[in-house]
Amino acid sequence: MEDYNKIIESLKVRYIKAKNLVLQQPLTVRNYYDVGNNLILVHNGIIAFGDDKQVAEEGQILFIPGGRSTKLYYGDTESRVISNDDYITTKDKFFKSNTDLDAIGEADDSHSFVSFEAKVFDSVNFFTSLEVPAFVITSNKLATLVIKIVEESMQDLPGKERIISLYTEQLVVELIRYILKNKMFVEQLATNSTYFKDPRLIDLFNYIKENLGGDLSNKVLSNVANVSEDYVGQYFKMLTGINPQDYIEYQRMERAVFLLRTTKKSIREIGKDVGYKDTAYFCRRFKMMFGIPAGKMRRRESSMNV
């Protein structure tokens, strides 16, 4: 348990967004994907996921870890199928955002969701690192926290950001407690608790995070970890299960998404900021990873805030 306490203490939690939505027409997203972790609380109606159409029932929560693609059904498992790209750009056609506190959970085909980041040492996405699929949660504590965060997000009260931040941190801790209590993903958690204690790996995580726009070749990484250039790739993969260059690309792309969402920098500038001198190559890799062009990722923000 001490290992898990250390991981929880090292987590940097960041609230992204929260909404209460009412479905206007059923749809199926064949490859739903988001960088943030998403907790979807079903108030009314049907939300299902996966090829086997597993249903999250009313009062249950569907958890979709960031970076994990899944098939997602809203309202009808035989509804119109669209891509994640189309879903992002046309979301306002399918959902209406509720702004009435008293109406939360009252409308047919409605749900609330909270999106957040949870990074170990502010570098590694904790839930993504578990490499687990979407799953259903039955927890009144988590459901209550989701509603509290949604309620705060709908009001303009003093200390709003502080309260949301505190609730989101509690939400993440309760989610980890739920996973541990139900003995879920035991092997993955054991592996993570081992490699997150290795100081050389922590140095690598921090160096990569602080130098995303620079040279992050295995030669450079070997000097940071004080291991041979031939061994550093094997060392990193042995502890994390992922090749260091694949991890670096994911971090670069995640940073690019953040810059697209929060700045007015050009695609070219953002690509350069995250280590890509060739803009065309950056755009190709971005679309390959997220399924949509970088420009559409930027434009989607207005439609995501339905």
Residue range 85-101, pLDDT digits in tens? 889 888 889 999 999 99
Give the pLDDT mean for 7-19.
90
Q: What is the token pair recorded at 30?
A: 């064949």
Whole-angstrom Cα distance, residue 82 to residue 31? 8
Residue 280 has pLDDT above 90, yes or no: yes
Give pTM, 2 decimals. Answer: 0.77
pLDDT at position 38 over 80: yes
Give per-residue pLDDT as tens, 138-159.
999 999 999 999 999 999 999 9
Question: Going from the N-terminus, what domains does the chain have, and what CATH number goes with each?
Answer: 1-189 (2.60.120), 198-297 (1.10.10.60)
Going by their DSSP bridges, the two strands 27-32 and 81-82 should be labelled as parallel
Whether residue 266 contacts residue 290, with contact meaning beta carbons closer than 8 Å, is answered with: no
Other residues' Cβ atoms within 10 Å of the Cβ of residue 255? 17
Name the DSSP class of 91.
H
Give 204-240 pLDDT, tens digit per residue: 988 998 999 999 999 999 999 999 999 999 988 887 7
The answer on pLDDT for 35 being more than 60 is yes
Tell whether the model's pLDDT for residue 303 goes beyond 80: no
- What are the pLDDT digits (tens) for 43-99? 999 999 999 999 999 999 999 998 888 999 999 888 899 998 889 888 889 999 999
Q: Please tell me the predicted confidence (pLDDT) of residue 6.
A: 77
pLDDT for 4 equals 77
91-137: pLDDT as tens digits: 889 999 999 999 999 999 999 999 999 988 777 788 887 878 899 99
The per-residue pLDDT for range 167-211, each reduced to its tens digit, is 999 999 999 999 999 999 888 787 777 667 778 888 898 899 899
3-state helix, strand, coil in the chain (%, to 5): 50, 20, 30
